[in-house]
Amino acid sequence: MKPAGRFLTVQGSALHVVVDGSGPAVVLCGGLAGNWFDWDAVTRALAVDHTVVRFDRPGCGLSAPTGRPPTVHGESDRIAGVLDAVGVDESAVVVVGHSMGGWYAEAFARRHRRRAAGLVLLDASIARPQRPLLAPTPRYRLAAAAAAVTSASGLQRLLGPSVRRLAYGGGPAAGTESLVRRVFTDPAYLRAALVENAAYADLPAELASIRGLGPLPPTLVVAADPGRPWSARWVRSQRRLADDLGATFTALRPARHTAMVDRPAAVAALVAAMPGAAYRGRGRQP
């Protein structure tokens, strides 16, 4: 199966970008090592009356790697650059961030306020600024070395697609199997994933430094609740995040962390409600 998108140069990097539909614009930002095909089912529902923009961060999906770790500032600017590259340069958009991508989406909404009509944080990561045992540079070098060893040993090729199945609860959608295998057995993808994971400890402090830049647009925090006894604590933390951001809160039950795969119709419906609320000037829903 051939990729559905196109390759555009954004901030000096060759990015794989997919645009579907027409209407109010929505940009979907994946979590740690997320790929464009994770959003396929949500996109099909939204693209009926929305312009849906998806892209792979460097080293993920089909985008070329840069070898540099992500930053909150850099990824928020990348979102803006992708929108410029596809011609969504004058319209306000609803930006959706899943998991770790929620940090990038929130940063975009704060740093590019005039471009953000709404913000949806889908089971977003929550972490306090911390002091890691290792400084960033050796941490990133260790992550890159671990990726190189795993790839060279053949473990990545052997286990890569299985890891995806475990994380997302089943195999890929029909027709995408070859693309999933291509991505999850690519050494550059594993390196990007492990380096982004190594950056996890650095990004909360960077996000905290820009949380005073002004109010957010209408914001919805969505918690994925699998309905297990141990999930209540996570749902409470998501509710606190909504309170801290002055956002609306809702929970999807039942849903795993990968709610865009678990509950695509419900996720699409929540996202689709955001532009209408913003454009008609209504306040946040109770």
Residue 176 has a pLDDT of 78
Q: Which domain holds residue 28?
A: 6-131+202-279
Inform me whether the pLDDT recorded for 155 exceeds 70: yes
Q: How confident is the model at residue 171 (pLDDT cuts 50, 70, 90)?
A: low
Give percent of the chain with pLDDT exceeding 70. Answer: 92
Asked whether residue 214 is assigned to any structural domain, the reply reads yes
Which is nearest to 79 in space by CA: 25, 125, 40, 41? 25
Tokens representing 22 are 């027409």
Asked whether residue 187 is assigned to any structural domain, the reply reads no
Residue 277 has a pLDDT of 33
Give me the mean pLDDT over the 224-236 stretch: 94
Q: Looking at this protein, which amino acid is placed at residue 133? A: L
Q: Looking at this protein, which amino acid is placed at residue 227? A: G
Q: What's the whole-model pTM score? A: 0.92
60-87 pLDDT, tens digit per residue, is: 999 999 989 999 999 999 999 999 999 9
In order, the DSSP letters of 23-47 are SSEEEEE-STT--GGGGHHHHHHHT
Asked whether residue 87 is assigned to any structural domain, the reply reads yes
CATH number at residue 261: 3.40.50.1820
CA 198 to chain centre: 17
Residue 276 has a pLDDT of 45
Measure the CA–CA gap between 99 and 172, rounded to whole angstroms: 20
Q: C-alpha dihedral over 164, 168, 169, 175, to 10 degrees?
A: -70
Contact 143, 195 (CB under 8 A): yes
Asked whether residue 123 is assigned to any structural domain, the reply reads yes
240-256 pLDDT, tens digit per residue, is: 999 999 999 999 999 99
Give me the mean pLDDT over the 105-111 stretch: 97
Residue 163 has a pLDDT of 86
| 1 or 164, greater pLDDT | 164
Give me the mean pLDDT over the 182-199 stretch: 96
Residue 173 has a pLDDT of 65
Asked whether residue 15 is assigned to any structural domain, the reply reads yes
Give me the mean pLDDT over the 87-98 stretch: 90
- Beta strand 51-55 with 13-20 is antiparallel
Q: How far is CA 210 from CA 103, 106, 213, in A?
A: 11, 10, 6
Our count of domains for the chain comes to: 1
Contact 107, 210 (CB under 8 A): yes
Q: How confident is the model at residue 281 (pLDDT cuts 50, 70, 90)?
A: very low
Asked whether residue 263 is assigned to any structural domain, the reply reads yes
Inform me whether the pLDDT recorded for 160 exceeds 80: yes
| 175 or 283, greater pLDDT | 175
Q: What's the helix, strand, coil split of the chain in %, to 5?
A: 45, 15, 35
Asked whether residue 181 is assigned to any structural domain, the reply reads no
| 237 or 127, greater pLDDT | 237
Residue 175 has a pLDDT of 63
Asked whether residue 195 is assigned to any structural domain, the reply reads no
